[in-house]
Amino acid sequence: MDKKTSLPMKIVVYAIMMGYAVVALFPFLWAFYTSLRPTREAYKLNFDLSNLSFSAYVDLIVKNDITRWYFNSFVIAVSVTILGVLLSTMAGYALARIDFAGKNLIFMCILGVMMIPGQITMIPQYMLLNRFGFVNSYVGLIVPFVFNAFNIFMMRQFFMSFPASLEEAAELDGLSKIGTFFKIVLPLAKPALTTITIMSFMGSWNNFLMPNLLITSRDMYTLPVGMASLNSQYFSFPNQTMAGAMLLSAPMIVVFLIFQRYFIEGVTSSGIKE
Amino acid sequence: MKQRSKQFQSNVAGWLLVFPVVALMLVFIVGPAIFSFGLSFQKYNMLKPQEATFIWFENYVELLKDPYFHQALYNTFKYSIVVVPVQTAISLLLATAANQKIKGQTFFRVAYYVPAVTSAVASASMFMFLFNTNGIVNRFLANFGFVPVSWFNDPRYALPLAMLMAIWSTVGTQMLVFLAGLQDIPGEVYEAAEIDGVSPLQRFFYITVPLLSEKTMFVVVVGMIGTLQMFDQAYIISGGVGGPLGSTTTVVLYLYNKAFGENRLGYGSAVAVVLFVVIFTLTMLQRYFFEVRPKRLERKGA
């Protein structure tokens, strides 16, 4: 029906699409606009471009250690992502390609674990980290979040569909097993790897519940935890709160715009079962 | 003999590669999940762990009697029952529109997905600003004669506001899932129907909807699980307490405040176990209705 879509139909389709685009983007655009306005004008419903400035950002950054929160968020998200992607790839490869005792049991466990909601592990995880002194530390904010069943599953699916003949050919050409893995398999796994990298990074960057629980001092705040603490404090400075919301969401939006194809792949492939 | 050593080598290689994730899974997921069950039968105060006592089902009994837990459960279900159908319908509508080979596909997909990559903390503060008593939503509505309401300070409106936020941030993701499903439906199916004189609306309900049932079930199950675990938005719009008048207390927020606000880890674990059972049952029911039963009926029919 695409070839001869009638004009009224087209208008309806565009109206729906544009309408929702406005709904999706308006909060950001207005929040950004507000973050540039003076405090006393923040609640006004008008469009006045005369006295915009970055002073809300400056005030917010001067009064709070936001650079430190950025640093914490980056260290944590990058570590979780690198460790997670590396370990998931190793496991995914083994589960797809190597015949070893207990393989099926492990794979069933990984599938089963996907059904365990995070809330049931939250309390014992906290007790465990507390017992070993990892509350309010980078280790405590990184290590428990490295395991990701979905990433392992996804890498396994990728390696299952990867033609074994390619590897055999490389081995016949004299490459070692490890050489084959790094020189032939990994470069071809780039799309799958990019997808899980981005999904892990986003999960870690936006993570709130557990970090909010595990962080006890301001110098360890990640951006979401820090911004949540400002929310109540800066209630009468909406321009600064909105500046905070922008500082928190901007990095993720930029990453998304650059890698949007891989995000979309990540979402759609998570919808495919088996 | 050689065969055996080869198998041995594979075992070693396999285990070396999976060992790290297996260890992490046992320590941080499986272990804690099992421990949680044990803990739910204990009176366990975080500040006095040496006084922990085994109390059988007392936590569960207290839980079932606690009106605040009833309220949390009621809020969470209400939230789920509104959010899931609405977001599923909107995303299906948008996916159908986006599948019409129109211009600007990339722009629309990016625009719709931006809310999904945004931290719940950031989107909650944006919504709280827009829906403030003096905020622009009220000012805008005032033009049509509406009296300003204080959305997240009014028990009548706080939860609906949270619902709106959830729908806003999830639609983009679900629309992509539906769109992928729509693109898998071969064009000939529609063409054949068109030749037979089937109207566009009928085509939607008799072709698109049934062929998308698997995607729909995925979207609905993921949506239900997500909404039943709602925490971030409720925590932020209520400053952590679940107010006003408990109207935004969700099950997870209740759990959080009992376990870490009142230091009652055993009681908190009982809440977690109940939540787990609810989510697990729903997933199984969904599976049954969308996968097992249709297949059985199909076999019977054939």
Residue B153 to chain A, least CA–CA distance (Å): 13
Q: Which residues of B touch A208 (CB under 8 A)?
A: 119-121, 231-232, 235
B102: chain A residues, CB-CB within 8 Å: 10, 13-14, 17
Residues 229..248 of A with a Cβ closer than 8 Å to B: which? 231-232, 238, 241-242, 244-246, 248
Instruction: Report chain A's C-alpha Rg in angstroms.
Output: 24
- Residue A251 resides in a domain: yes
Query: Between the ranges A221-225, B134-138, B203-207, B215-219, where is the mean pLDDT highest?
Result: A221-225
Provide the 3-class DSSP secondary structure of residue A139. helix
Residue A43 lies in a domain: no
How far is the C-alpha of B271 from the C-alpha of B173, rounded, in Å? Answer: 29
Measure in Å the smallest separation between the Cα of B178 and chain A Cα atoms: 8
Query: What pLDDT is recorded for position A267?
Result: 74
CB atoms A123 and B125 under 8 Å: no
- Give the pair of three-digit tokens for residue B222: 């993921």
Give per-residue pLDDT as tens, A64-81. 889 999 999 999 999 999
Instruction: Determine the pLDDT at residue A234.
Output: 65
Query: Residue A3 falls within a domain, yes or no?
Result: no
Judging contacts by C-beta atoms under 8 Å, the chain A residues touching residue B140 are 45
- Bigger pLDDT: A208 vs B184: A208
Confidence of residue B301 (pLDDT cuts 50, 70, 90): low
Instruction: Kindly state whether A4 is in contact with chain B, defined as any CB-CB distance less than 8 angstroms.
Output: no
Q: Do A1 and B190 touch (CB under 8 A)?
A: yes
Rounded CA separation B116/B107 (Å): 15
Domain that holds residue A78: 62-268
Q: Are B235 and A231 a contacting pair, CB within 8 Å?
A: no
Number of Cβ atoms within 10 Å of the Cβ of A182: 11
Residue B43: beta bridge partners?
Answer: B53
Residue of A nearest to B118 (CA): A249
Residue A94 has pLDDT above 60, yes or no: yes
Residue window 119-138, chain A: list those with CB within 8 Å of chain B: 119-128
Collapse the DSSP code of B53 into the 3-class scheme (helix H, G, I; strand E, B; otherwise coil) and give the result.
strand
Tell me which chain A residue has its CA closest to the CA of residue B200: A1
Best mutation target, A17, A25, A85, A227, to test chain B (most B CBs within 10 A): A17
| Closest to A48 in 3D by CA, of A64, A61, A37 | A37
Q: Which residue has the tokens 């909406």?
A: A238
The tens digit of pLDDT for each residue in B237-280 reads 888 888 788 888 999 999 999 999 999 999 999 999 999 998 88
DSSP A236: T
- Give the pLDDT confidence score for residue A273 in this predicted structure: 35
Residue A197 lies in a domain: yes
Of the candidates B285, B151, B165, B289, the one whose C-alpha atom is nearest the C-alpha of residue B227 is: B165
Q: What is the mean pLDDT of residues A18-27?
A: 94
Asked if residue B261 lies in contact with residue B45, where contact means CB atoms within 8 angstroms, the answer is no
Number of domains in chain A: 1
Q: In 10 A of CB B223, how many CB atoms?
A: 23
Say how far apart CA A85 and CA A114 lie, in whole Å. 17
Is the minimum CB–CB distance between B264 and chain A shorter than 8 Å?
no
Give, in degrees to the nearest 5, the angle at Cα B104 between B101 and B109.
90
What's chain A's average pLDDT?
87
Task: Say how far apart CA A46 and CA A61 lie, in whole Å.
Answer: 27
And the tokens for B195? Answer: 């030749």
Q: What 3-state class would DSSP assign to B45? A: strand
Query: Which burial class, exposed, middle or buried, applies to A198 when counting CB atoms under 10 A from its CB (0-12, 13-18, 19+)?
Result: buried
**Residue type at position A145:** F
Strand ranges inside B181-275, DSSP E: none
Decide if A5 is inside a domain: no
Q: What is the ipTM of this complex?
A: 0.88
| Cβ neighbours for B102, distance < 8 A, ≥ 6 positions apart | A10, A13, A14, A17
Neighboring chain B residues of A120 at a CB cutoff of 8 Å = 32-33, 36, 269, 272-273, 275-276
Mean pLDDT of A16-42: 92
In this complex, do B232 and A245 lie within 8 Å of one another by their Cβ atoms?
no
Mean pLDDT of A226-240: 81
User: If you average pLDDT over residues A99-125, what whole number do you get?
Assistant: 90
Question: Is any Cβ of chain A less than 8 angstroms from the Cβ of B118?
Answer: yes
Q: What is the CATH number of the domain that holds A185?
A: 1.10.3720.10
Distances (CA, A) of B90 to A252, B15, B93, B184, B263: 25, 46, 5, 20, 41
First CA to last CA across chain B, in angstroms? Answer: 52
pTM: 0.88
Task: Give one word for B281, left, alpha or beta, with left for phi > 0 and alpha for psi -120 to 50.
Answer: alpha
In a domain, A102, yes or no: yes
pLDDT class of A269 with cuts at 50, 70, 90: low
Domain membership of residue A227 (yes or no) is yes
Quote the minimal CA–CA distance from A110 to chain B in Å: 8
Rounded to 5 degrees, what angle do the CA atoms B222, B167, B235 make? 90
Does residue A49 lie within any of the structural domains? no
B129-188 residues touching A, CB cutoff 8 A: 129-130, 132, 134-136, 139-140, 168, 171-173, 176-177, 179-181, 187
Smallest CA–CA distance, residue B301 to chain A, in Å, is 25
Q: In this predicted structure, what is the pLDDT of residue B89?
A: 94
B13, A100: Cβ pair inside 8 Å? yes
pLDDT above 80 for B183: yes
